[in-house]
Amino acid sequence: MRAVLLGTAAGGGFPQWNCACPLCTSGAPARTQDCLAVSADGHDWYLINASPDIRSQILSTPALAAGPGPRDTPLRGALLTDAELDHTLGLMMLREGSGLRVWAPDAVLHALRHGFGLRDIVSRYGGWDWAPVDTATVLGGLRVTVLPVSDKRPKYAADESRVDGPWVVAYRIEDPATGGVLVYAPCLATWPDGFDAFVEDADCVLLDGTFYASGEMSGATAEGVGSGAQRAMGHIPVTDSLVHIREHLARRPGTRWCYTHLNNTNPLVDPASPEHAEVRAAGAEVPPDGTEFKL
């Protein structure tokens, strides 16, 4: 299995266009909005989420280049972890193609039709196919296992209380040919029940790194950016998840733990920050856009 981190930033990217905080003006390496691509054979590729930056992400990734025919593309489908705009708007950018198969939790499929209308819009441009993700989902030979992690709805679907969750899931992707296991969990409100078993024998875990610490958006790091409602946004702080990572690495030191989905207020975006050094010392990584894993 090959996996490419197309983007590693939270919604808005880094630096964020409307922010002049110290981090956004620091000159730290830019990051596009979080998105992953996976393939069993290096020819057929599947997106995990589709960020608004998907066009530039595809064009900067040689494995996703169009060809050999004038309208051929290696993209075969997309898998969504949730219904947030920064994880779904990229599907709009793919409307020039002939359509894709998209898998997502039932609540997400409902929101993208009745709360936002994205499904109906893009389906007017090609042969799009929408399907609920389940234990039988296979991405070009890669087996997918789903773990519900949160019932946080996007703002545009806040009134969809009648729709049963889960609204946010994590994915475990296994390659039967190599035995490689990748876990993708860019949005964790907490360290959920069952997550320890979900990642126990994984080779690589791509984990929610949105905020470094609780209160970050109202603290000194962001110098007043945002509000104190950070935890309500549905992201476990790195300082909390690092405790669990240390425990797992003590049992299975070979697992790669990588933080992704970094907010523009998170000091981890600066490779020279002491917080970045602390994460590396704990055995975790903060990979840049374009990082590839082979499992």
CB 236 within 8 A of CB 188: yes
* Neighbour count for residue 177 (Cβ, 10 Å): 11
Q: How many domains does the chain have?
A: 1
Per-residue pLDDT 10s for the chain (295 aa) are 999 999 999 999 999 999 999 999 999 999 999 999 999 999 999 999 999 999 999 999 999 999 999 989 999 999 999 999 999 999 999 999 989 999 999 999 999 999 999 999 999 998 999 999 998 899 999 999 999 999 999 999 988 778 888 999 999 999 999 999 999 999 999 999 999 999 999 999 999 999 999 878 755 444 445 444 555 677 999 999 999 999 999 999 999 999 999 999 999 999 999 999 999 999 999 999 999 999 9
Task: Say what the pLDDT of residue 230 is.
Answer: 53
| Three-class DSSP category at 183 | strand
CATH number at residue 6: 3.60.15.10
CB 171 within 8 A of CB 72: no
206, two tokens: 């791509």
Task: Say what the pLDDT of residue 129 is.
Answer: 96
162, two tokens: 């009648």
5, two tokens: 């981190």
CB 3 within 8 A of CB 36: yes
pTM (two decimals): 0.94
| Three-class DSSP category at 129 | strand
Task: Say what the pLDDT of residue 218 is.
Answer: 59
∠ CA 178-78-157, rounded to 5°: 135
253: exposed, middle or buried (Cβ count in 10 Å: 0-12, 13-18, 19+): exposed
Which structural domain range is residue 285 located in?
2-294
284, two tokens: 């975790």
Q: What percent helix, strand, coil does the chain show, rounded to 5?
A: 25, 25, 50
